Structure 1
Amino acid sequence: MNTLAEAAVDLTAIEQNVRTIGAAADTALMAVVKADGFGHGAVPVARAALRAGAGWLGVASAAEALALRAAGITAPVLSWLHRPDDDFAALIAAGTDIGVSTVAHLHAVADAARALGVPATVQLKADTGLSRNGAAERDWPEVTGWARKFELEGAVRVRAVWSHLADADVPDSPGLSRQVTLFEEALALARAAGLDPDLVHLANSAAALGAPRTRYDLCRIGLALYGVDPFGGNGPGRYGLRAAMTLRAGVVNVKRVPAGTGVSYGPEHVTRGPTTLALLPLGYADGLPRAAEGRGAVRLAGRRCPIVGRIAMDQCVVDAGDLPVEIGDEAVVFGPERDDDRTQPTVAQWARWARTIPNEILTGVGARVVRRYRHDETELS
């Protein structure tokens, strides 16, 4: 390891996860690669997911969609979060599907399409209970009506109707049933307005694995794509997902200290007895949440060792006890669950320690942490 810290990304695991979810869901898949592929790297993850059979890519922003196109990726892409004055012409020219939730956005997209002389392909989103993006129930008839008008004029093509679930990760959620009902009603209204979408999609990772009635034509997979159980271990079963990222750093300083030694700022931690402290060049700027202080741990010298004292911007201190630790030794912050050795923390454990979700831990891994890629045990970069 010749860098201070690195996130090793196993692209073979990404491929395996796509195949695993695809077999379980038995439907087409959209690999969600927003937020730089949940911190893994959008372009390498996208290519791996497509190799494994994903038919679509999903991103939040126009910039993310155009970055995929600039990398030479020609697969279908849906971009779903925009301002009404976004550069829709660039998305249309790039052959990207545009998620639309309001009449204002629909007019802006149609205007851009007319100026280009090329129809825009849109996917209409209905709000079925998440209360974020998506057209509200009272606005849906107006959205679908304008969409049909623009379709007849040749300005847009409505490829899909879709929505997003609020609590599919909660087994037997009554809210999920209500959302399915509202989604069916929204779909019926769209068809009554004269729309005939090629695709209908609702399921996220949890629903793809645990809620068959939500799968329709396509499942959008995010967290599960990266090998994290979307049910947090509380779902209907284990699915054979493989964590794709291993976050690790080399020890940059080691010191033996006596009892009563203060560690890091404050100090809020004072050693109870003689111990060995190992310094890691990872801090909250690199994705180690301060909220995990007093609970976070790493794997070092074959053991799970606690992080002690306050996590700083660039570094943290590990209490290695009496272990024989030296400068240059590797510490694993999180990685795949090991059947033969439970000392290695997982991203799900770090999320619990920080009282958050794995998504936030993964996307929080900072840009100065070098990404290295491996495929079929071959190092790519």
Structure 2
Amino acid sequence: MSAPCPSAVVPAAPTRPLLEVDLAAVGANVRLLAGRTGGGLMAVVKADGFGHGAVDVARTALAHGATWLGVTGLAEALPLRAAGLRAPVLSWLNPVGADWAAAIAADVDVAVPGLEHLAAVAAAPGRARVHLHVDCGMARDGAAPATWSALCAAARRAERRGEVEVVGVMGHLGCAEDPSDACNARGRTRFAWALETARAAGLRPVHRHLASTAATLTDPRTHHTMSRVGAGLVGIDPSGTTALRGALTLTAPVVSVRQVPAGTPVGYGHEHRTARATHLALVPVGYGDGLPRAASGRAEVVVRGRRRPVVGRLSMDQLVVDVGERPVPPGEPVTLLGPGDAGEPTATDWAGWAGTIAHEVVTGLGAATRTGTRLERRVVGAAHLRSLA
């Protein structure tokens, strides 16, 4: 629990909780991912770039090998255009009543998962660029197989009328994090069938994309003309097969330290009692800042180059660290999360402690920086970026 961390580097003392975003790490991940796909790379910057800043991550990705950008709703797509990004953008999760005219005016491609969406998009002024979306076995977004032929036929009629241009077909795999799962073979087969059906209807989709991060890294059969990578941009590999670099580091200063005897209860519910006389350090970060409360009783942080346990329940604004026999002074820097270079916990570690996924951890932390009142956000590694047309 308290073994020294390898190559430990004590960070500069923070004056408040700080979330640092390393765009150099994003760039390195993009280069690796672009080199692993047989087609193009779409950088998915949904959820504010997985909490890392959508515009920053988008610019970095385009500078290092991505050629497309992807988001869910139009509310995420239009700010990319407002920031001056001119690369192709796809938005794939919108209600039927979305502002399709705004998408067309901003030159944003949109996904069409059914006949109702197609009719709404086709009725908008201008000619929309659409990617027909097929359900490849997840029973969520995308057209069900029973409706796919009708959707393709209707899309072809809308093309002839000049209302839409079908430029892509897309799907998503439900089990790509486990390459051996039979779900993936069924998904590949359904996607192949969907492409054949689209071609039989007279459609000629230039862009065909099925793979997200895990499939991009593990299954070349899913690559087609483009892969959609989101989590991998920021260092998360759901398949656990590839060493990507985490791009977030969370630090905070110790607020106060107290010496306590053995048997001292800590935090709400007194779920933890100290096993021996020790020192407890209070750190001003909690679940209100995006740390998962479910990690209570299991999480660790780094203090003076050593892993130390977080004891008691995580509170909304604070947590308590058992720092052992020797006290640390108020203001002492604590590293709660990082890429793991100095033995500090990673987003994957926190996810394991909380029984969740790293995606949830990083997006939660990123959300806490948006008002500037919870976590301070600092971007580093951006000197190489330029405005991209």
**Could you say which TM-score interval applies, normalised by the shorter chain?**
over 0.9
1:259 aligned residue: 262
Matching residue of 2:5: none
1: CA distance between counterparts of 2:235 and 2:24? 11
Aligned equivalents of 2:158 and 2:32: distance in 1? 40
Letter in 2 for 1:370: E
Q: Is the 8 A contact 1:276 1:323 kept in 2?
A: yes
Secondary structure (helix, strand or coil) at the match of 2:236 reads: coil
* Separation in structure 1 between the aligned mates of residue 261 and residue 327 of structure 2, nearest angstrom: 16
TM-aligned CA distance change 1:323 to 1:81, over 3 Å: farther
2:330 maps to which residue? 327
1: distance between equivalents of 2:135 and 2:261? 59
Larger RCO of the pair (alpha carbons < 8 Å, separation 6+): 2
Aligned residues of 2:45 and 2:230 also touching (Cα < 8 A)? yes
Change (3 A) 1:323 1:125: farther
Show the counterpart of 2:340: 337
Which amino acid in 2 is paired with 1:17? Answer: N
The one-character-per-residue Cα deviations of 1:130-187 (angstroms, maximum 9, x if unpaired) are 1110000001011111111111111111110010011111032211111111100011
- Counterpart in the other structure of 1:181: 189
Q: Distance in 2 between matches of 1:139 and 1:133?
A: 13
Counterpart of 1:51 in structure 2 is: 63
Letter in structure 2 aligned against 1:62 = L
CA distance in 1, matches of 2:102, 2:47: 20
Counterpart selection for 1:73 from 85, 100, 103? 85
2:135 to 127, 134, 144: 127
Q: Which of 362, 367, 378 pairs up with 1:372?
A: 378
Q: State how far apart, in whole Å, the 2-side matches of 1:198 and 1:328 are.
A: 57
* One-letter identity of the residue aligned with 2:82: A
Tell me, in whole angstroms, the C-alpha distance in 1 between the residues paired with 2:383 and 2:128. 42
Letter of the structure 1 residue corresponding to residue 135 of structure 2: D
Of the candidates 175, 183, 192, which is equivalent to residue 167 of structure 1? 175
Give me the whole-angstrom Cα distance separating, in 1, the residues matched to 2:328 and 2:151. Answer: 63
Q: 1:30 maps to what in 2?
A: 42
The aligned runs of 1:74-89 (5 Å cut-off) are: 74-89=86-101
Q: Which amino acid aligns with 1:55?
A: T
2:87 and 2:32 map into 1 onto residues whose CA distance is 21
Quote how far apart the aligned CAs of 1:355 are: 0.5
Residue aligning to 1:242: 245
1:268 equivalent in alignment to 2:276 = no
Quick one: distance in 2 between partners of 1:2 and 1:69?
Answer: 35
Moved more, 369-378 or 81-90: 369-378
Report deviation, 1:4: 2.1
In structure 2, C-alpha distance between the alignment counterparts of 1:251 and 1:26, rounded to whole Å: 48
> Residue 282 of structure 2 aligns with which residue?
279
Mark the CA change 1:377 to 1:320 in structure 2 (over 3 Å): closer, same or farther: farther
Q: Which amino acid aligns with 1:374?
A: V
Question: What is the number of equivalent residue pairs in this alignment?
Answer: 367
AA at the equivalent of 2:293: R
In structure 2, what is the Cα distance between the partners aligned to 1:199 and 1:124?
Answer: 10
Counterpart residue number, 1:104: 116
Partner in structure 1 of residue 166 of structure 2:
158
- Partner residue of 1:199? 207
Aligned partners of 1:272 and 1:377: how far apart in 2?
A: 49
Share of identical aligned residues, percent? 50
* Other-structure match for 1:138: 146
TM-score (norm 1): 0.93
| Root mean square deviation, CA, Å | 1.6
TM-score (norm 2): 0.91
1:138 partner SS = helix
The answer on whether the counterparts of 1:279 and 1:315 sit within 8 Å (CA) in structure 2 is yes
Match of 1:300 among 300, 303, 327: 303
Please tell me whether the aligned partners of residues 297 and 306 of structure 1 are also in contact (alpha carbons under 8 angstroms). Answer: yes
Cα pair 1:301 1:323 within 8 Å, conserved: no
Please name the residue that 2:354 is paired with: 354
Letter in 2 for 1:79: S
The Cα of 1:322 is off from its aligned counterpart by: 2.2
User: 1:372 is paired with a residue of what secondary structure?
Assistant: strand
Alpha carbons of 1:155 and 1:316: their partners in 2 closer, same or farther (altered >3 Å)?
same
User: In the aligned structure 2, how far is the partner of 1:225 from the partner of 1:127?
Assistant: 25
How many Å apart are 1:229 and its aligned residue?
2.3
Q: Which amino acid aligns with 1:76?
A: P
- Given that residues 3 and 370 in structure 1 are in contact (C-alpha distance below 8 angstroms), is that contact kept between their aligned partners in structure 2? no
Letter in 1 for 2:70: G
Deviations 1:60-95 (A, max 9, x none): 111000111111111111111111111111111111
Task: Quote the residue 1:63 is aligned against.
Answer: 75
> Which residue identity lines up with residue 100 of structure 1 in the other structure?
V
Deviation at 1:376?
6.4
Is contact 2:133–2:142 with CA below 8 Å preserved after alignment?
yes
